[in-house]
Structure formats: structure tokens, C-alpha cells
Amino acid sequence: WPPVDQLGSADKESEPKRKKTASSDVSKPQSAPKDLDYLVPKAGFFCQICSLFYADETSVKNHCKTLLHQQKMEKFMAQQKEEDNDGEEQSSR
């Protein structure tokens, strides 16, 4: 990095150009780690049964074949069926 006194020594006319390149060049290395901490990419697939996120279709297809997912899916479906039956019993009373 140039010394601080060299950064401010440019002519007033060329200052806006220098600021643009300087600010984009300077901000990337300094702010990138902080920025990345707060970025949350959303493109992909979220398994609501397992609460897991997958970025591509191949990964999610493989996930759906896992024993863990299948077990959780069976449990989820049983709960759904039970809730549906409870709702029917209450409405028929």
C-alpha cells in the first residue's frame, strides 16, 4: 500500500476516477471476509423433512435415497396421517 500522504496527493480533476478504482480495489480485500459472513445464497433445494439445504439437483436426489431421509419421511408421513385422522374425528362429532 502507498503511504497515506500519497493517496491524497492527486489532482482534484482526477480524484473521482481514482476514488472509484481505489474504493473498489481497497474495499474488496478488507470487506470481503465480513461480507461473506452475512451472505446467504438461496438457489437450491431445502429438504423440509431433514432441514438440510442442497445446492444442486444431483445432491438432493442422493439425499432422498439416504436411510436417514427415508426414516424421517416415514415418521413425518405417519404424523401427517395421524393429524388428518384426528381432524376427521373432531369434524364428525
Closest CA to 49 of 78, 14, 24: 78
The span from the CA of 83 to the CA of 88, in Å, is 9
Residues 6+ apart with CB under 8 A from 56: 44, 45
Would you call 45 helix, strand, or coil by DSSP?
Answer: strand
Q: What is the pLDDT of residue 7?
A: 46
Instruction: Select the more confidently predicted residue: 22 or 79.
Output: 79
Read off the pLDDT band of 31 (50, 70, 90): low
Q: What angle do CA 77, 82, 83 make, to 5 degrees?
A: 100
Domain ranges for the chain: 14-93
- For residue 44, which of 36, 34, 35, 56 has the smallest C-alpha distance? 56
pLDDT tens per residue across span 35-87:
778 877 678 999 999 999 999 999 999 999 999 999 999 999 999 999 888 87
